[in-house]
A and B are shown apart, each in its own frame.
Chain A
Amino acid sequence: ETGVTQTPRHLVMGMTNKKSLKCEQHLGHNAMYWYKQSAKKPLELMFVYSLEERVENNSVPSRFSPECPNSSHLFLHLHTLQPEDSALYLCASSRGTGLAGVGETQYFGPGTRLLVL
Chain B
Amino acid sequence: TQLLEQSPQFLSIQEGENLTVYCNSSSVFSSLQWYRQEPGEGPVLLVTVVTGGEVKKLKRLTFQFGDARKDSSLHITAAQPGDTGLYLCAGAIQGAQKLVFGQGTRLTINP
Chain A positions within 8 Å of B, measured between CB atoms, are 2, 4, 40-43, 45, 48, 55-56, 58, 90-92, 98-111
Contacts and interface: CB of A to CB of B under 8 A. Distances in A.
Secondary structure dominating the interface of A: loop
B103 interface: yes
A102 B95 CA distance: 11
Given A100-B96, A103-B48, A92 B42 contact: yes
A104 B103 contact: no
Shortest Cβ-Cβ A-B pairs, 9 listed: A108-B42, A43-B101, A100-B92, A42-B103, A100-B99, A42-B101, A102-B31, A108-B43, A105-B45
Interface residues of B, number: 27
* Most chain A Cβ neighbours within 10 Å, of B35, B45, B98: B98
Contacts of A101: 30-31, 92
A62 B108 CA distance: 38
Given A43-B88, A90-B42, A110-B40, A102 B99 contact: no
